[in-house]
Amino acid sequence: MKTPAPKPKKVVLAYSGGLDTSIIITWLKENYGCEVIAMIGDVGQQEDLEAARKKALATGASSAYVEDLREEFIRDYIWPTLRAGAVYEHTYLLGTSMARPVLGKRQAELALQLGADGVSHGCTGKGNDQVRFELAYKAIAPNLQIIAPWREWDIDSREDAIAYAEKHTVSPEKAPDKAEEVEIGFEAGTPVWVNGTKLGPIELLNLLNEIAARHGVGRTDLVENRLVGMKSRGAYETPGGTLLVTAHRELERLTVDRETAHLQQTLAVRYAELVYNGVWFSTQRQALDGFFNVSQQRVTGSVGLKLWKGTHNVTSRKSPFSLYRADLASFTMGRYNPKDAEGFINLFALPVTVRPKAKAEGNS
Amino acid sequence: MKTPAPKPKKVVLAYSGGLDTSIIITWLKENYGCEVIAMIGDVGQQEDLEAARKKALATGASSAYVEDLREEFIRDYIWPTLRAGAVYEHTYLLGTSMARPVLGKRQAELALQLGADGVSHGCTGKGNDQVRFELAYKAIAPNLQIIAPWREWDIDSREDAIAYAEKHTVSPEKAPDKAEEVEIGFEAGTPVWVNGTKLGPIELLNLLNEIAARHGVGRTDLVENRLVGMKSRGAYETPGGTLLVTAHRELERLTVDRETAHLQQTLAVRYAELVYNGVWFSTQRQALDGFFNVSQQRVTGSVGLKLWKGTHNVTSRKSPFSLYRADLASFTMGRYNPKDAEGFINLFALPVTVRPKAKAEGNS
Amino acid sequence: MKTPAPKPKKVVLAYSGGLDTSIIITWLKENYGCEVIAMIGDVGQQEDLEAARKKALATGASSAYVEDLREEFIRDYIWPTLRAGAVYEHTYLLGTSMARPVLGKRQAELALQLGADGVSHGCTGKGNDQVRFELAYKAIAPNLQIIAPWREWDIDSREDAIAYAEKHTVSPEKAPDKAEEVEIGFEAGTPVWVNGTKLGPIELLNLLNEIAARHGVGRTDLVENRLVGMKSRGAYETPGGTLLVTAHRELERLTVDRETAHLQQTLAVRYAELVYNGVWFSTQRQALDGFFNVSQQRVTGSVGLKLWKGTHNVTSRKSPFSLYRADLASFTMGRYNPKDAEGFINLFALPVTVRPKAKAEGNS
Amino acid sequence: MKTPAPKPKKVVLAYSGGLDTSIIITWLKENYGCEVIAMIGDVGQQEDLEAARKKALATGASSAYVEDLREEFIRDYIWPTLRAGAVYEHTYLLGTSMARPVLGKRQAELALQLGADGVSHGCTGKGNDQVRFELAYKAIAPNLQIIAPWREWDIDSREDAIAYAEKHTVSPEKAPDKAEEVEIGFEAGTPVWVNGTKLGPIELLNLLNEIAARHGVGRTDLVENRLVGMKSRGAYETPGGTLLVTAHRELERLTVDRETAHLQQTLAVRYAELVYNGVWFSTQRQALDGFFNVSQQRVTGSVGLKLWKGTHNVTSRKSPFSLYRADLASFTMGRYNPKDAEGFINLFALPVTVRPKAKAEGNS
């Protein structure tokens, strides 16, 4: 029989500054008589985090930390997911999904560092985020006690992601009449410059967010399959991410050979599931990164995009490692001999034509 | 040692009416002294096929047949590919790829029927179409001799698909300022009505082509991996098909459970490869249809789309078999208990947390 | 907040006759004051089921049913799994996994039929069987209340499968010195005769179990990954099943073309996961059956096996639909021309040699 | 029109010492008037290679090289394939398939080094080996001219692999009555010791070959699907390899988590196809190695096997990184709480039970 876990004495809470996590501070203190430390993670949400920090203290937190996770988030979570071409169910770019592990990881590290014995978050019991946070806690600091008050209260379901939507992006109808071009440069699958200017990850993503939002690019509204078994509606805004996924995919068309590209397509489906399900800290994800690190080595070059009224179309693709060779068409010597196609077709067809052939000959 | 094949006496030629296949008629007669029968297949290309028929006769064909393959093409080739969600390399909707097997099959059948001993086509040796035609011939009538003069001449590469492009579709910039809504109804994954009116396959696809073209929807320009090993640039126009793929996918989000949906996504990649490579007449394709026939049984309902300036966005999704239940959020009794999530997470996390846990306890 | 479920008044229990499920009868009556109906399912376990029935009544069941599920079990569960080539983690032939859905389904049907409002089983909280039973209940009669007392008691983990092992099969060392041959005939992937005699499913499987057991074939001992997240050790005996899987696979080598065969291999991994995890009643499994129903259509013929000291080796393979043609080697006309290989290799190699070629020429 | 390639002046021939490649020396000199250099690759075939060298010179080669590729072959080709768990069509351990790329690579390197302008091999036009050799040439030295005389002669098909069979291995019936145990130790998926003694790759594989052959382990006879489209019969002997594949797989069961293991199983199918098809020098294979390098990091430990009369059964499995924990069963605190299973099942079942539930409630 399982003994009930002892009540935690010191809890690190993933604090947002909103009402939902503010309530938790009071509740934890009342119910457990424990000390509560608020952690506010900066993953680029562009809110007033200093105000949140003050609010946490005012609401009863013994201390409150603002953790700048922006660069780590982009470099170690967004870029690998981009390189993997991972998009959940064709459409969802996994923004929130990737943010949870980096927040949960930092929260668990902080707990270890401060000698806390518990961690807490404000996710409800119907969403994916609870899973993503808790898998991170369990991976980094498996002995911490996890307290998820909103799972117990279950007042109302509310997927955080929905709240994000329709906030920043201009609607396509109101976008400027004049198109805008942007060129994005990659090295080994990682974006490194925009319009000729080399930029750090934060600046690069901010700039692309700004440009894409201006033209109403990157809004999506869908029905998705949650890990916890139900379907839900989500509305997402990922303006800069949308440009990056398109540009990256176009550059891959140029630089990755067919068989590798097709295998990548299948593995990207798996990668997206892992990220969506919060299984970030796992051998499987690391091994897939091992694959993509190799397959992306020559995904270097740039892609131009034209943004207009909610659309973004490719205008150029360039790479020093391009496998597209116009000369393959005209210059045949030693390279492409159309006569080879006859032999190719005969053998390619063999497995599916043994049977009709045998039939035509009257046996089988 | 292989004996050279005897010269064919009667050849059925896939005839387009263009210069490239007209030349073949003369060449076949001169080189083989054989009778040439022209077959003009109507797969909805909306050209003057009667004129082509007359031209074939004038150029030396002993007879010329116009075969109306439109309904068969849509019903037996396009609809199954749509149900499978097959899109090649994320983008190409496989229009030309699907047309080749239906043409090649009819051509081979005609040859058998007329007692011909050869078939011929006008594809070059660098493209995919030669493979698609010849796999169809070999599947239906494996004893026919195949003559592919353009593969031997190899004057210049020219992918038929490219010629199709930028012909019918209004450019997004010139599309009307006023958006248009269209609603498409499906039964078991097959489109059956538009805007409330039940339509046969030909009328349905024509109508959607017209509507989508008006708004500049469905043009694409890409670098793709050909079966014969090289990369090529292609420009495609599939206005109606684009609407259908989006609507179908959206309806699936509502009606197909998560695990089936994710498996479909992987199998669609395979299906697209098969169709692209011309491996239509194969056990593998038939077996995949066996899968999709079951998985699509409840993909019934309708999806509304708003078309504007080259974009098309989902405005409604309806299905009597919807698995999306808003009530799963509020009505918990016997259905969804958020407390279950705790147990779920603990077990879901177990495989990836045995190791950190063991580590934290100091063993391994 | 979830209201506690009302206490059930009439419960159908999956009853084995052992101490573990006997205890449940008393416990259910004491704790719920409910009527308990015992269901004993015959899935070929060759125990005294009539004695079990009497014991159930003596222990307090209001009634007890022995349900003969043998033919349904083999025909609708074992044969499809065999056709799919599904083997969990390379080795486990899924015997117990397949038995649970057929038992759970009948139990739920019986409950509906008798107006019961609850079902119960004796599986512990650490194994896979609880999941398999409960998924069947939920699929067939989702409103029934499920009571799993051993999950609550959690006295000791005990995977039923282990108990099965080392019971029937002769150890290889004690097997006869003389080898024995057996020939198994299939139609469309389903076994239909042994040594020339057509047999019903029950007789066929019994006979193969007997023959294989005599020679110590079909014992396995492994570490497997349970659905509930932990690894466990299992020992299994599937003498007849082992012969069937080998014979079926060999017949497929002869009759299924390469690409279909390789896709089958991948889908079999998925099918095995579904069966192992108890997800039998699902669109995904049905759709996979849709695939295999087609891909198995010509898996007709027979395979001979020689059994000796724990080994079983293939001695013959025959099929009217064999795709193996010795004549492909000698008779080349119109079929296989070795010169074709040159063209084939050139194009097959192209995607991976564009890069070295370009390099050798000094560009990129 | 393609200009015929100029006649090569200096050709490096993959020379076996047999009649088939000896004939080529004479033929090349007569037909091309070129110099012929023989390369005899030692990949552990245990033949008299010095005799072969002398024979090459006597037959007209201007020089002859014996290249010791044994260690490179095992370390860079066999070990990665073993780590990937790659087995073609369930059974074939890919011995010959792996040997071709290492031979072809060395041959191409030698050609570059000696200023040769051609390479030649003695494979026929119906087998896989021609593809494997030529893909290696094209990857390493794409400008060399390739001459494959046996493809042109096409006298008789003869798969080299068949010739290998039934040569070294004792038949199970004649194997000793006394069983023998062997323990194999691995580090990160690579075998490093046998029976407690650390061994280099050559010694290790030799020793295992000897032990397994003594007991009649590792013979196989099958119908396989060749890359060039036909089915063929093959008989293979891989005594040591058979032990290694089993031991490696067993160690993985202990040390690799479920999801990674299942993904490995699918990727191993792909890896086997690549190796079988000779696509060794490719981004895809390298990227898969990237995956396995990570996923194998903790496949460290040892496995004991008992060999007897053609069988080999696992007797022990040990690893410092074992994820199998007997304590997960008894020690529940903070680790495994059987009550969690209830919540797990409820959510795991949700996607497949929304529909029956809705049905039972009368909607849809």
Please tell me whether residue D68 adopts helix, strand or coil conformation: strand
Contacts of B124 in chain A (CB under 8 A): 338
Helix (H) or strand (E) holding D36: strand D35-42
Identify the residue whose tokens are 């109403």: A216
Contacts of B260 in chain C (CB under 8 A): 282-284, 287
* Residues C261-295 pLDDT 10s: 999 999 999 999 999 999 999 999 999 999 999 99
pLDDT band at C145 (very low <50, low <70, confident <90, very high): very high
d(CA C282, CA C287): 9
Q: What is the pLDDT of residue D337?
A: 78
* Residues C73-105 pLDDT 10s: 999 999 999 999 999 999 999 999 999 999 999
What does pTM read for this prediction? 0.92
Size of interface B-D (CB pairs under 8 A): 76
Residue D229, pLDDT > 90, answer no
Residue C331, pLDDT > 50, answer no
Of residues A142, A338, A349, nearest to B357 (C-beta): A142
Mark yes or no for CB contact D322/B364 under 8 Å: yes
d(CA B298, CA B287): 19
Burial class (CB in 10 A: 0-12, 13-18, 19+), C38: buried
How many angstroms away from the CA of A98 is the closest CA of chain D? 20
Scanning every residue of chain C, which has its alpha carbon at the shortest distance from the alpha carbon of B294? C287
- Cβ atoms of B134 and B104 closer than 8 Å: yes
* Residues C181-233 pLDDT 10s: 999 999 999 999 999 999 999 999 999 999 999 999 999 988 999 998 888 98
pLDDT band at C335 (very low <50, low <70, confident <90, very high): low
- Cβ atoms of A317 and A303 closer than 8 Å: yes
d(CA A326, CA A335): 12
Of residues B259, B295, B351, nearest to C229 (C-beta): B351
pLDDT band at B354 (very low <50, low <70, confident <90, very high): confident
Q: What is the pLDDT of residue C37?
A: 98
Q: What is the pLDDT of residue A3?
A: 52
Percent of chain B with pLDDT over 70: 91
Tell which A residues from 274 to 313 touch B, by Cβ distance under 8 Å. 277, 279, 281-283, 308-311, 313
Alpha-carbon torsion (B199, B202, B208, B210), positive or negative: negative
d(CA D79, CA A234): 47
* Residues C116-135 pLDDT 10s: 999 999 998 889 999 999 99
Q: What is the CA radius of gyration of chain C?
A: 25
Helix (H) or strand (E) holding A309: none
Q: What is the pLDDT of residue A155?
A: 52
Tell which C residues from 212 to 271 touch D, by Cβ distance under 8 Å. 221-225, 227-233, 249-250, 253-254, 257-258, 261-262, 265-266, 269
Q: What is the pLDDT of residue D363?
A: 53
Residue C325, pLDDT > 70, answer yes
Find, among C122, A53, B361, A98, the residue nearest to D325 by Cα.
B361
Beta C311-318 vs D10-14: how paired, if at all?
Answer: unpaired
Q: What is the CA radius of gyration of chain A?
A: 25
Q: What is the residue type of A281?
A: F
Q: What is the pLDDT of residue C229?
A: 83
C neighbour chains, 3+ CB pairs within 8 Å: A, B, D
Burial class (CB in 10 A: 0-12, 13-18, 19+), D321: middle
Percent of chain B with pLDDT over 90: 74
Of residues A154, A328, A347, nearest to C344 (C-beta): A347
Of residues A221, A311, A353, nearest to B142 (C-beta): A353
pLDDT band at D1 (very low <50, low <70, confident <90, very high): very low
- HEC string of A46-96? CCCHHHHHHHHHHHCCCEEEEEECHHHHHHHHHHHHHHCCCCECCCECCHH
Burial class (CB in 10 A: 0-12, 13-18, 19+), C58: exposed
Contacts of A225 in chain C (CB under 8 A): none
Q: What is the pLDDT of residue D159?
A: 42
Question: What is the mean pLDDT of the segment spanning B149-168?
Answer: 54
Q: What is the pLDDT of residue C162?
A: 37
Tell which A residues from 60 to 89 touch B, by Cβ distance under 8 Å. 89
* Residues A196-224 pLDDT 10s: 999 999 999 999 999 999 999 999 988 99
Which residues touch A129 (CB under 8 Å, ≥6 apart)? A96, A100, A121, A123, A160
DSSP B230: -
Which residues touch D177 (CB under 8 Å, ≥6 apart)? none
Q: b or e along B129-150 (b: 16 or more beta carbons within 10 Å of the residue's beta carbon)? A: bbbbbbbbbbbbbbebbbbbbb
Find, among A45, A362, A124, A253, the residue nearest to B342 by Cα.
A124
Of residues C5, C295, C333, nearest to B2 (C-beta): C333
Cα dihedral: A79, A80, A83, A87 (round 10): -90
Mark yes or no for CB contact B344/D339 under 8 Å: no
DSSP B174: G
d(CA C119, CA C111): 7
A neighbour chains, 3+ CB pairs within 8 Å: B, C, D
d(CA B15, CA B18): 8
* Residues B259-279 pLDDT 10s: 999 999 999 999 999 999 999
* Residues D290-340 pLDDT 10s: 999 999 999 999 999 999 999 999 999 999 999 987 666 444 435 577 788
Question: What is the mean pLDDT of the segment spanning D107-121?
Answer: 97
Residue C3, pLDDT > 90, answer no
Percent of chain D with pLDDT over 70: 91
pLDDT band at A228 (very low <50, low <70, confident <90, very high): confident
Mark yes or no for CB contact D311/C172 under 8 Å: yes
Contacts of B350 in chain C (CB under 8 A): 228-230
Q: Which residue has the higher pLDDT, A359 or B238?
A: B238
CB atoms within 10 A of CB D31: 11
The token pair at B88 is 């090649």
How many Cα atoms within 13 Å fall on the side-chain side of residue C174? 6
Tell which D residues from 176 to 215 touch C, by Cβ distance under 8 Å. none
Residue A167, pLDDT > 50, answer yes
Size of interface B-C (CB pairs under 8 A): 99
The token pair at D86 is 């790659």
Residue A247, pLDDT > 80, answer yes
d(CA A122, CA A139): 19
Please tell me whether residue A191 adopts helix, strand or coil conformation: strand
Out of B189-198, C5-14, C65-74, least confident range: C5-14
DSSP states of A245-285: HHHHHHHHHHHS-HHHHHHHHHHHHHHHHHHHTT--SSHHH
- Cβ atoms of C129 and C100 closer than 8 Å: yes
Residue B160, pLDDT > 70, answer no
d(CA D274, CA B59): 49
Q: What is the residue type of B33?
A: G
Q: Which residue has the higher pLDDT, A116 or A329?
A: A116
Q: What is the pLDDT of residue D163?
A: 37
Q: Which residue has the higher pLDDT, C348 or A306?
A: A306
Contacts of D336 in chain C (CB under 8 A): 126, 229-230
Please tell me whether residue C235 adopts helix, strand or coil conformation: strand
